[in-house]
Amino acid sequence: MKTETLETLLIDRALGALSPEVAELLESHLIQNPDAVRHAESVESTVRLARTAVAGAPVSTGHPPPLDRVRKTLRVRRRQAFATELSRLAACLLLGLTIGLIGRPGGSPAGAPGVSTAVARPVIASDAANGAGGRNGFWSLANFAPGKPEQSAAGVRQDSRYRLHWDSPVKMPHLEENL
Amino acid sequence: MDRENEQLEQFYRETAPALLAYFRHQPALAGAAEDLLQDTFVRALKHRDRLETAVSRRAYLFGIARHVGLDALRQAEPVGVPADSQIAPVAGEDGRLESMRAAIAELPPPQREALLLKLQQELSYEEIAGVLDIPVGTVRSRLHYAVLRLRQVLNPPIAYED
């Protein structure tokens, strides 16, 4: 048997971790080898001394606190965790409510001056007839009537040879010749 | 429910003193041993189903205790090497014991931890592996190196021939 193997088995035996079958084989080996017996005694005495040193270490273990104290602590911690979750939920609700109140059209929390909100101005009939969105306006359908010459911005020549062709928002616009 | 509580009480009575000793044997944790014991059980009872289904409830509890201890060490101020870990002069049986204590204190922490779980708590290799979350082979090698080192400190090596 190799020294390393023997040492491994001896330490396992000293620590009480050797199976009975292997222990029996080891015993039979030790009977035939007095040197191995000395080695075994050395390991055994080391572990025995270590066990005594550890067990007899000057430490007062005292009495553990009663289990009720543990239970009480557990209850308190659970309650604290629940309260924390509840306060988080309340904070979320409050935040949502505040944002909702501020974002409401024409609405700001009472007594909160200076909060401006964007409100769409309703189109008045007279405006619609004449104004920007009306019959003469830029977006008026009349401007796109067939046969009507293209409206151009002030300063742009009417007889321009090229025009900007942009038939799709996903394609780059390009210049094409005015035919 | 009463039966469950009774079982829990019994389990607590059996394991609490060992856990308390486990914490008290660590100089940096000894002062807060009772609180740490309480923390260990609070954590264990939070996930009581895991405790009930653990292969070794004792090993499972020591695993939690170890984590509780590590957390406490992380939060605590760094502690210097305790005076009692210095090697004392050998004089008779007491001297040998003192030397052994000092030699154990000088072991690398992973080896010392495995050795203490083995010698103090009488856990099996498999249980120690569960507590430390390492393979059984690693437990074996740590324990072997620890014993060899202690033997070298206390006894001169013996030449062995096959």
User: Chain B contacts of A47, Cβ < 8 Å?
Assistant: 119, 147
Helix axes of B33-46 and A67-103: crossing angle, nearest 10 degrees: 60
Least confident interval from A84-93, A119-128, B27-36? A119-128
Report residue B144's pLDDT band, with 50, 70 and 90 as the boundaries.
Answer: very high
Residue A91 above 90 pLDDT? yes
No. of H helices and E strands in chain A? 5, 2
- Average confidence (pLDDT) over A105-109: 60
Q: What is the helix, strand, coil percentage profile of chain B, to 5?
A: 75, 0, 25
- Full set of structural domains in chain B with CATH: 1-80 (1.10.1740), 87-157 (1.10.10.10)
**CA B13, B14, B16, B18 torsion-angle sign:** positive
Q: Which residues contact A82 (CB under 8 A, 6 or more apart)?
A: none
**pLDDT surpassing 90 at residue B99:** no
Q: How confident is the model at residue A122 (pLDDT cuts 50, 70, 90)?
A: low
Length of chain B: 162
HSE-up (13 A, CA, CB side) for residue A65: 17
- Report how far residue B134's alpha carbon sits from residue B149's, in angstroms, rounded to the nearest whole number: 21
CA distances from A102 to A91, A121, B134 (A): 17, 19, 57
Give the pLDDT of residue A23: 86
Report the gap between the CA of B156 and the closest CA in chain A (Å): 10
What is chain B's mean pLDDT, rounded?
A: 80
Which residue, among B9, B68, B75, has the nearest Cα to B40 in the 3D structure? B68
Q: Which two tokens stand for residue A37?
A: 């017996």
B45/A71 Cβ within 8 A = yes
| DSSP-derived 3-state class of residue B59 | helix
Nearest to B56 by CA among B137, B134, B123: B123
Bridge-partner residues for A177, per DSSP? Answer: A162
B122 conformational bin, left if phi > 0, alpha if psi -120 to 50, beta if neither:
left
Kindly tell me the sign of the dihedral angle through the C-alpha atoms of A73, A79, A85, A88: negative
Q: Is pLDDT above 80 for A64?
A: no
Are B38 and A69 in contact, with CB atoms under 8 Å apart? yes
What confidence tier does A40 reach under pLDDT thresholds 50, 70, 90?
confident
Over residues A126-177, the pLDDT tens digits come to: 555 555 555 556 666 666 555 555 555 444 555 577 788 888 878 888 887 7
The pLDDT value given to residue A93: 92
Instruction: Give yes or no for residue B129 having a pLDDT over 60.
Output: yes
Residues 128-157 of B with CB under 8 A from A: 140, 143-144, 147-148, 150-151, 154-155
Q: What is the mean pLDDT of chain A?
A: 74
DSSP B76: S
Residue A17 contacts B, CB cutoff 8 Å: yes
How far from B30 is each of A60, A69, B95, CA to CA, in Å?
10, 20, 24
Structure-model confidence comparison of residues A150 and A93, the more confident one: A93
Q: Are A67 and B9 in contact (CB under 8 A)?
A: yes
Whether pLDDT at A108 is above 70: no
- Quick one: CA dihedral B118, B119, B120, B123, positive or negative? positive
pLDDT at B90 over 50: no
In this prediction, residue B85 carries a pLDDT of: 41
- Integer Cα distance of B89 and B33 in angstroms: 30
End-to-end CA distance of chain A: 105
Return the residue of B nearest to A38 by Cα.
B158
| Cα gap B42→A104, rounded to integer Å | 48
Query: CA A103 to CA A118: how far, in whole Å?
Result: 10
Determine the pLDDT at residue B161.
52
- Asked casually if ipTM beats, i.e. exceeds, 0.95, the reply is no
In sequence order, the 6+-apart residues with CB closer than 8 A to the CB of B44 are B51, B60, B61, B64
Residue A60 has pLDDT above 90, yes or no: no
Amino acid identity, position A86: L
Chain B partners within 8 Å of A73 (Cβ): 38, 42
| CB distance A178 to A162 below 8 Å | yes
> Which of A44, A60, A61, A77 to mutate against chain B (most B CBs within 10 Å)?
A61
